[in-house]
Amino acid sequence: MEKKYQIAIDGFSSCGKSTLAKALAKELRFLFVDSGAMYRAVALYCINHNVKIEDSDQLNSILLDINIQFKQEQDTLQIYLNEENVTEAIRDLKVASQVSEVAAISSVRKKLVAQQQKMAESNSLVMDGRDIGTVVFPNASIKFFITADPLIRAQRRYNELRAKGNPSIDFNLVVENLRHRDRIDSTRDDSPLRKADDAIEIDNSTLSEKEQLQVALTHLYNKFPELKN
């Protein structure tokens, strides 16, 4: 049976996790799974259907109605929620303001973690999130923990939102949103964000995307030289 690899990438929001994960998956021809997009999709569903996040009974009931799929279309990963393409919709700031609260709910995490683990049964994959190396794949082939200066992270997110058609977005609002998400991600009872003991930390505050990729590949090829072929 062909060996399956799991590359786990964790870190705070807007620190470059997905950028690295996508680049590694492309380089290695592995499946890329954006776990954060899955939680964003649930948050979007709650917003669109007026589901109160604090109403656990209502939230648990709608989980049965949620189907999330990843589809590769023209070299771009698209996220579908109940057959609707929500790739752009889940990046809205309104969704971002609620996603950490949604991700802190145990029943949501249980459903999505089970789905994430199932993906690894038949695929070598790269997955990024908050608890990939600590909860989803505690025995991952290799783990990375990505960090960056908070203001640099905020600037990256601000630039992303402006590039996607939000020219009037307030930078201070972006900073506050990141601080809010950091606080919830780090202090939630279920699977709080933390660096796994065996994770390799990469501070990309001063690194380009290409430099970050090379750092990760160096560690990866040192551990698994067979992947270099």
Is 191 a domain residue?
Answer: yes
Under the banding of pLDDT at 50, 70 and 90, the label for residue 2 is confident
What is residue 10's predicted lDDT score, i.e. its pLDDT?
96
Residue-range definition of the domain harbouring residue 61: 6-222
What is residue 1's predicted lDDT score, i.e. its pLDDT?
60
Is 117 a domain residue?
Answer: yes
Is 19 a domain residue?
Answer: yes
Averaged pLDDT, 193-197: 93
Residue with tokens 């954006």: 34
Q: Any residues with CB less than 8 A from the CB of 80 and at least 6 apart, and which? A: 68, 69, 70, 71, 86
CB 11 within 8 A of CB 132: no
CB 10 within 8 A of CB 129: yes
- Nearest CA-CA partner of 117 in 33, 39, 37: 33
Please, what's the b/e burial string for 3-18 (b: 16 or more CB within 10 A of its CB; e: otherwise)? eebbbbbbbbbbbbbb
107: amino acid identity, one letter: S
Average pLDDT of the chain is 91
pLDDT digits (tens, 9 = 90+) for 51-102: 988 888 888 888 988 999 888 787 778 999 999 999 999 988 889 889 888 9
Is 1 a domain residue?
Answer: no
CATH code of the domain containing 29: 3.40.50.300
- Nearest CA-CA partner of 116 in 3, 8, 1: 8
197: amino acid identity, one letter: D
Is pLDDT above 80 for 219? yes
Q: Any residues with CB less than 8 A from the CB of 109 and at least 6 apart, and which? A: 103, 131, 190, 191
Q: How many domains does the chain have?
A: 1
What is residue 185's predicted lDDT score, i.e. its pLDDT?
87
How far is the C-alpha of 195 from the C-alpha of 4, rounded, in Å? 23
Is 229 a domain residue?
Answer: no
Q: How far apart are the first and last CA of the chain?
A: 19
pLDDT digits (tens, 9 = 90+) for 148-184: 999 999 999 999 888 888 778 899 999 999 999 899 8
What is residue 15's predicted lDDT score, i.e. its pLDDT?
92
What is residue 57's predicted lDDT score, i.e. its pLDDT?
85
Is 126 a domain residue?
Answer: yes
Write down the pTM of the prediction: 0.84
pLDDT digits (tens, 9 = 90+) for 28-47: 999 999 888 999 999 999 99
Is 40 a domain residue?
Answer: yes
